[in-house]
Every structure is written in C-alpha cells, then in structure tokens.
Chains A and B, each alone.
Chain A
Amino acid sequence: SQKIEQNSEALNIQEGKTATLTCNYTNYSPAYLQWYRQDPGRGPVFLLLIRENEKEKRKERLKVTFDTTLKQSLFHITASQPADSATYLCALGGSSNTGKLIFGQGTTLQVKP
C-alpha cells in the first residue's frame, strides 16, 4: 500500500540555522508533491508545490527538492526564526488530477531563540 514517512520526532534547532525536513514515500508515483504548514488547532496552509519533472523549487526562505528515484523530498527553511515553529506536512498528488492528496504524519519543528 502507499506509504508516506516523515520524521515523527520533533526537530529542534537554533534560530538562524537551516532546518531540513524529510519526506519519503513508497508504492506511489506522484505527479506532484506539496508541503504544508499546520499550527495547533488550525487547518494546513499551503507552502510549495513541486512537480515530478522538477528537481528543486524555492520561495523566499523555503527550498524543496524532489528526487523521484530516491522517492524522497527534502524541505529546507533557511535562516530559521521562532515564528517558523509549527508542524510541516508533505502531501502527494496523483496524475489523475482529481486533487486528492495523501498526507504524511508531519514533522514538528521547534526553533529556539
């Protein structure tokens, strides 16, 4: 069955450092992959989308890579700030363009001042 794995352990880093979060998947060939931010008690907020034919995408302090051979995406936040503390979810979308997403369990990031 399709499986998405994100590091379930919380990631604690110092302010100013780069945070790197990992998303691995098996038994799936997504057409695109998305990263979301979720704060406690709130709905997810869209951050970045990367397609299967793209290797890397950037948006301000965010960078996402997508390796379809390794079946892995890395999500980087550079110059991290305490306000970046949240849970980050990766989600896979299929080629059928139904809009359906399969979510990982999320990784909680804590940026300490």
Chain B
Amino acid sequence: GAVVSQHPSRVICKSGTSVKIECRSLDFQATTMFWYRQFPKQSLMLMATSNEGSKATYEQGVEKDKFLINHASLTLSTLTVTSAHPEDSSFYICSASPDEEQYFGPGTRLTVT
C-alpha cells in the first residue's frame, strides 16, 4: 500500500510558540491531503483539506489563522499550529490517497506546556 510519513512524531513546546508538522506522501503524488485531530479515546475529527497550489478548506469551527496549512508540492503538506496553547495538545494525523483508500501518517503527538 501507499506510504504517508509525518514529522516529527512527538513534539513538546511552550505555550505561545508555533509548531510545524510535515506530512509527506512517499510513493505517490497527492493533490489533496487531509489533516485530522484526535483527542484521547475519541474519534478522528477532520480539521481541513489541504489542496496543492491553492488555499486549504477548513471544517466548521477550525480557525484557519491558528492552524496554517501549506501544500506547496504534490508530496508535502505542512500544518503549523500558531501560538499554541495547552488546549491544542492532541494527536495530529494527516492522510492522503492515490485512490479512494485513505492512507494515514503515523501521527504527531503535540504537547503544549
């Protein structure tokens, strides 16, 4: 199957700082990638759709100025959590697809102290 990687796998940052998470499709090109957030024992919640070469589409209730998404190439999308606060601590997961089956990255555990 297709492979999607994420970096870093784990990050701890101080409140008020910004954190960038990378999502890469390793063996296919992805014009669209998806960013999810998952809190403990809860389901994946779609945050935004990352579109190569154009603006991301955000789900209702997700602040686009806080969660900056850049999809500059067909294999890379980045999510930047700006001015992070403890309530932003979560598991962030990206996905991409060469067809209908979505392939997920291993996730990034963000802890904001």
Contacts and interface: CB of A to CB of B under 8 A. Distances in A.
Given A100-B46, A106-B43, A41 B109 contact: yes
- The prevalent SS among residues of B at the interface is strand
A46 B32 contact: no
B93 interface: yes
- Interface range on chain B (Cβ under 8 Å from partner): 20 to 34
Contacts, number: 55
B17 interface: no
B43 A105 contact: yes
Interface string A7-48: 000000000000000000000000010101000011111100
B97 interface: yes
Contact of B101 (A46, A104, A106): A46
A26 to B, nearest CB: 15
B102 A105 contact: no
Contacts of B107: 41-43
Interface residues of A, number: 23
Nearest to B31: A99
Contacts of B109: 41
Given A43-B93, A105-B42, A34 B104 contact: no
Interface string B37-49: 0000011111001
Contact of A44 (B1, B44, B49): B44
Interface of A: 32, 34, 36, 41-46, 49, 89, 91, 93, 97-106
Interface of B: 1, 4, 6, 32, 34, 42-46, 49, 91, 93, 95, 97, 100-107, 109
